[in-house]
Amino acid sequence: MNRSAFTMKLKKGFEAEYKLRHDNIWPELADLLAEDGIREYYIFLDQETGILFAFMKREPSNMKLSIKEHPVMKKWWNYMKDIMYTNPDGSPMITGLTEVFALNSTEW
């Protein structure tokens, strides 16, 4: 299982809306993420800066089409672009993070 983490940035004043939209995630988006091998996905918010920290665990994908090209993903990005900083294609601006330490109690 692969682990990855990245940051995104939320526009000021949209903290509650961001949470609401994710509390009501579309079933077709949840299905797409699962189909892409994502088994765990967490997003945390730094209230002071608007920085979103995301962490996921993902198995190798069996998808024929890149999730970034999937119509459901593009629809979600369009839905979220009014409250987040995005790239010209509508995808969220992300900064990938490098894992430098891991501690797993099951390995002790």
pLDDT tens, position by position, 46-76: 999 999 999 999 998 777 778 999 999 999 9
Range of the domain at 63: 2-107
CATH code at position 31: 3.30.70.100
The pTM of this model reads 0.89
Active site residues: 22
Q: What are the residue ranges in the chain where pLDDT is below 70?
A: 107-108
What does the block give as tokens for 82?
Answer: 């009014």
Domain count of the fold of the chain: 1
The span from the CA of 66 to the CA of 14, in Å, is 29
